[in-house]
Each structure stands twice: as C-alpha cells, then as structure tokens.
Amino acid sequence: MLQNVTILGATGTIGLNTLDVISRHPERYRVFALTAHSRVSELAELCRRYQPRYAVMLDTDAAERLRQALRDTDTQVLEGIEALEQVASHVDVNVVMAAIVGAAGLKPAIAAAHAGKRILLANKETLVMAGSLFMQAVEKGGATLLPIDSEHNAIFQVMPARRLSALQDGGVKRILLTASGGPFRKASVDELKAVTPAQALNHPNWVMGPKITIDSATLMNKGLEVIEAHWLFNAPAEKIEVVVHPQSVIHSMVEYVDGSVLAQMGNPDMRTPIAYGLGYPERLDAGVSALDLFQVGRLDFEAPDTARFPCLRLAFDALAQGGTAPAILNAANEVAVDAFLKGGIGFQDIPQLIESVMNSMHIEPVNSIAQLIGVDALARSQAMQWRPSC
C-alpha cells in the first residue's frame, strides 16, 4: 500500500535524508506535506520536485512568499503552528517524520500521536520537554513510535520486543549510549576557552544542523538523549550509561543480565535509521555504503569527562529533578547555543548559562502542554538576560 508521508522540518538534514530514502522507493511512499520555518527557496524547490498536497511555513511572511513561488502548482500553502498540527494529524497521513529542531516541534508531534500515526521521532525536545505527556498521547492514540536518533534507533533494534518492561523483566541490565565526543574530545580547559563557532561546527563524523552540532560539541546532545532514553525505554537514570566512542561505528548497545552486550553498527549515515523507521518491521535499501571493518581498523571507548563538559551532568541533574526541569534545561540550552553561534557568549559560557537558569527557576510537576510552553518562555527570558561574569 502506498503510504503518505508528512515531513516536519523538510529543509533540515533529517528532512532531506528522509526525502532521499523516499526517492529510492517511489512505489511505497508519497510525500503528502513538507514544512519549514522560513527557508522559502529551499522548500519551493522541494515542493516542485515532490509535489506535496500541502506545504507549511511557520513564519507568516515566508508563507506568503512561498505562495507566490508555488502559484502555478497544485500545492496548497499553509502557515503557523496550527497548520503544522493539521498536516501531522491529517486523516490521509500514514507516517510523520518529526524533525523540527527545538520546542516548535512539540505540538505537531503530540498531534500526530493523538491521531495514531506512525511517528518517526527525530525531534529531541518532544521527549525532553514533555516525555510523560507525549508517551501518554502515543499510548492513548494508538500511535507507533520509532526513534530516529541513531543512538535510540540502535537501542530499539537490539532491545526485546517488550521494550517498556525490558529493564524490569526482559533481562536488560543497562543501556549504553555511545557518543562521538565531538570535535573537542581531547581539548584542554584552556583550549575550550578559545573555541569559536566555526570550530564547534566542524564535527568529525556527522553532518548535522548547527544547533545539534553545537550540542554534540558540548555533550548536551548526549544529555538530551539520556532523557529521551528514559522515556522511550522506561529506563531509570542509573540504568543509562554514556560511553565515548570516537569512531561512531557502534551507535549504541544494550547489556543483558547474562553478560551479553548487543550492539548495532554501521557507517555514520542518518539514512540508516530513517529507512529502518520507514520500513519497520521490514528493511529497506537506504543508499548507505557497507561498513568496512578493515578500514575502520579499531574501536575505542572511554568515559565522558563531565568536568570539561558539564552539560552532560546538567542533563542527568534535570532528569533526576523531573517535572519541568528538563524543559528548563532545554530552553536555556537553545538560547545559549544561539548566543554562542552569534558570538554573544563563549563556548564555556554555555553550561554556566544553563545552570544559572536551572538554579533560578522553581521546578513543578508537569500537567499540560500549555504549562510547558509557559515554562519554556520564562526560561528563555531568563536565559536571554544572563551575562558572563568577568
């Protein structure tokens, strides 16, 4: 059966890789809707190529420019967060790739869950901000949730079928999340003080968007993934361990009580987890080259250094505090990364800003999306007022 796919965040790295995989299987998938924030020319080009029924721009002015660019096509241009929710939950949609970076991806992902869609989740903030609410929506809506982060996708592949009880009665002892260590794995404290945005954007293994690349450099990306793993696999923090693996060949591992450790391996290419999510439980050709173990040569592992990279510790702290703490962590981090990319703060100021905001806000139990959006806004406001100490 031909499946209709909505791609939330079509112009980003995940979105483009999803379109690449879909292009390899035109007999199985059709693009239903494509969305972007403000990249008009890029989205217009994609719409002309894939001819979706809908195109959505979050930014109103960008939506009007896109309408003009596509006025000779059959694609209907919509705008705003409500339109994102509409194309994520539309009755004709089978699969939703949730790849919008940041808190903007939360509402459409929740809408897809309530509508019972197959959700390919590449938006970290959905689980970090609203893990309990999102997982409840998935269960209530009868949605199928497939993680697309390479690490969580790897864990999903080697976990028992009953993943939510695997650490209780499925023989699983620990989840081992691998991390590349980023471009500054061996940098000294003094060297970290002088890091520039250009250096931080030069990831040794992965091609990603700027925000997630900076998160990888600070190890916040791994911290967010720890929180995600907690919700995806019903895993307490003490059962999740981060292992630095510079080659990024082993994407994560699961340790069992009998001493077995199962790992998923492959070249660092996001088309592998995307194809797995699209085809599950079948396997699809993703266009990814075969892993050459002789070329890899060796696999190294080391413990993360939370003294040089305190963002990982902050994420574990937020998970331990629970409630709105992860949402505060996420909002402060987004502001800090943006400020660093714009030259407003230094690389080592990022964790200082985040910790300051976390310490200044009251932690509450999570009860609604509206509450989380308010907490997110307040945390961002406080983060934008933060200034480095001299």
Sequence-separated (6 or more) residues with CB below 8 Å from residue 137:
110, 113, 114, 143
Strand arrangement, sheet containing 240-244: 240-244, 172-179, 250-256, 261-265
Q: Give CA–CA dist 210/338, Å, rounded.
A: 9
Q: What is the DSSP string of 251-318?
A: EEEEEETTS-EEEEE--S-THHHHHHHHHTTS-----PPPP-HHHH-----B---TTT-THHHHHHHH
Which residues line the annotated binding site? 11-12, 14, 123-125, 149-151, 180, 203, 209, 216, 221-222, 225
Sheet with 54-57: list strands edge to edge.
76-79, 54-57, 29-36, 3-8, 95-98, 118-121, 144-147
DSSP state of 78: E
Please, what is the end-to-end C-alpha distance for the chain in angstroms? 62
Contact 18, 6 (CB under 8 A): no
Tell me the binding residues for NADPH: 11-12, 14, 123, 125, 209
Interatomic CA distance for residues 188 and 109, integer angstroms:
40
Give the C-alpha separation, 157 to 283, whole Å. 12
CA separation (Å) from 382 to 129, 285, 345, 377? 17, 46, 15, 9
- Residue 22, φ and ψ in degrees, nearest 5: -60, -40
CA distances from 154 to 105, 274, 286, 339 (A): 23, 12, 16, 32
**Feature table: binding site for 1-deoxy-D-xylulose 5-phosphate:** 124, 150-151, 180, 203, 216, 221-222, 225
Q: Which of 101, 102, 130 is nearest to 111 (CA)?
A: 130
Phi/psi of residue 6, each to 5°? Answer: -100, 130
Binding residues for Mn(2+): 149, 151, 225
